[in-house]
Structure 1
Amino acid sequence: MTAETKTETAQATGSCCAPTGSCHDGAADVRIGGVTTVYQVTGMTCGHCEGAVVGELSELPGVTSVKAVAASGQVTVVSDAPLDETAVREAVDEAGYELVGQA
């Protein structure tokens, strides 16, 4: 694809990007709306820990995004509606960690 073709495609789609319309490197799209809740989780020490927590929480119905940060112990969950804290606690427990509560 030539530079000229890329420009024409971008103008045709209304995007500054290639035909995919994505300007970033695979990061999740920002979602407008929904509920964002930050939880405090103890026991996470590394990327593997973060992945385990993200994996379990991502399976909860209505969850659209999860980000865990081991260094702070904070887990940010975006969902379509408020989540049942018992379900969140069970998911974190299943991953092998402890939910302290909302941060």
Structure 2
Amino acid sequence: MRLPPRPRPSRGRGAERTLVSTTNTYAVTGMTCEHCVKAVREEIEQLDGVSAVDIDLTVGGQSRVAVTTDTPLPLDQIRGAVEEAGYHLATPAS
């Protein structure tokens, strides 16, 4: 089941600087329901610079998690957020 991303306002003064968004896609295992999706979304959204999180749930497989950011985020930050939610970052999706 694919849920639309929830846009969030960018942090900082948008009128004073130009932001270039980047979307990276990751594979996450272990998610089985909308509660799982919510948990992962909430953890990733807490990271600085995240403007949207789009999750395509694949029950029993690798769910696609697309993260749009205003600034590049290290993979370890994404992995930490996913693990804090109780799931596993399999690999950046291709």
TM-score, structure 2 length as denominator?
A: 0.73
Amino acid at match of 1:38: T
Q: Is the 8 A contact 1:34 1:80 kept in 2?
A: yes
Considering fraction of residues, name the structure with more helix: 1
How many residues end up aligned between the 2 structures? 75
The aligned counterpart of 1:3 is none
Q: Is the 8 A contact 1:53 1:95 kept in 2?
A: yes
The aligned counterpart of 2:67 is 77
Pair member with larger Rg: 1
Amino acid at match of 2:44: L
Segments of structure 1 that go 5 or more residues without pairing to the other structure are 1-26
Segments of structure 2 that go 5 or more residues without pairing to the other structure are 1-5, 9-18
C-alpha distance in structure 1 between counterparts of 2:71 and 2:50, whole Å: 8
Greater relative contact order (Cα 8 A, min sep 6): structure 1 or 2?
2
- Match of 2:23, SS? strand
Aligned-residue RMSD, C-alpha: 1.8
4+ residue runs of structure 1 moved beyond 2 angstroms?
Answer: none
Q: CA deviation at 1:33?
A: 3.7
**Percent identical residues:** 41
Considering fraction of residues, name the structure with more strand: 2
Q: Is the 8 A contact 2:7 2:51 kept in 1?
A: no
- Match of 1:73, SS? strand
